[in-house]
Amino acid sequence: MSKKLSIQTLCVKEYRDDKHKTPHQLPIYATSSFAFDDIQQSADIFAGNKDGFVYSRYGNPTVDIVAQKVADLEAYGTGLNAYGFLTSSGMSAISVLMMSLLKSGDAILTQEDLYGGTTELFNKVLVQLGIKIIYCNFDNMDEIEHTIQTNRDIRMIYFETPSNPVLRCIDIYKVARLARKHGLWTCVDNTFCTPVIQQPLGLGIDFVVHSTTKYLNGHGNSIAGIIISHHEKLKNQIGTSLKLIGATCNPWDAWLLNNGIKTLCLRMSKHSDNALQLAQFLNNHANVVKVNYNGLAENIYHDVAKTQMKYFGGMLSFEVQGNAKTAIHVMNKLKYCTLAPTLGDVDTLILHPVTSSHLRVDKKVREANGITDNLIRVSVGIEAVEDIINDFEQALK
């Protein structure tokens, strides 16, 4: 080639690796498009007659491999064949799913104590598309069924369990059974648990979403989300919406996610062990009014959690004695824990929901669902647990 082409052309021309090496680690396919051998191959792939890649917004080997890996984890041991679509964030995963399945006039039945961003998405974006949002108490199955029976526009039931940030635990199997009875779709945000702790698909749920930014990645160095389902007939429908909306994940973030998943089982076990010990310490502290952690035997959701969770997870929240000023004072006194608007990293992270994640949720709604001014959310890390406890002990004095 060097004898036939000019040096300028040689600079531009892509060299190919034709040695057919098998990499030990997943490669990053950092390319926007893929070349074809000939026009017929291009036509066949575009028409869907042959498998292949054309453009990374449509699909990318790194992204697709990691998506399938997460889907396989969610379906592990259930006997289901699941697929996954990695998206640009957890919020885009929710958005794409709802826009794929719902139309103007349809309604979503959900809970009030969702992640604040999800609540905003529902109330500020989806309602503008003509999709109605209906709230009810997910602790009461009779209320859920009554709400379904009196609102015939409901097409989707969406919930988090445990919820963010008060850790409400919803009986997944019972909700799924109700939804099947009335012919409704169900979706669970499984970000807090990951499939290592909880597998909603195996309990009858149709769709699972994650902010993979959190525990699945675990190291705070990428942002992505995922939609997972076993309904093969809907795969093209969801994939087409994702492709056209353009909320696809990029190969670098997918690769970082893949690296994080390798230690997921180890991390979730340690997160859970540390969280239980911290919860027990806080539960016995004179300056703590309430601890939200399903691993505590006296927690009202303890029995439900035991039926559907392998561990109790690394998330907890607690109310300090006092008000918002007191909570902020305690948080500012922490020396080793990090104040950051995320969760699921290997280090312990703290957050004040009413001034951050749930700032734009109506105050009456917050208070009715236990999101009080003196509530502190903790994503318990995998450090030595005595260091975490000592830090909270000195801050709470």
Catalytically annotated residues: 57, 115, 189, 214
The two three-digit tokens of residue 389, written as one number: 């406890």
Is there a contact between 379 and 314 (Cβ–Cβ < 8 Å)? yes
**For helices 141-150 and 172-182, angle between their N-to-C axes, nearest 10 degrees:** 20
Going by the DSSP 8-state scheme, the letter that residue 114 receives in this structure is: S
Token representation of residue 387: 């260091």
What are the E-state strand segments in 120-279? Answer: 132-135, 154-160, 185-189, 207-211, 225-229
Greatest alpha-carbon pair distance for the chain in Å reads 82
Backbone angles phi, psi at 332, to 5 degrees: -70, -25
User: Which residues share a beta bridge with 109?
Assistant: 134, 157
The amino acid present at 87, given as its one-letter code, is T
* Torsion sign across C-alpha atoms 141, 145, 146, 150: positive
List Cβ neighbours of 255 (8 Å cut-off, separation of 6 or more): 26, 28, 62, 66
Under 8 Å between Cβ of 187 and 97: yes
Give CA–CA dist 102/364, Å, rounded. 29
| 196/194 Cα distance (integer angstroms) | 5
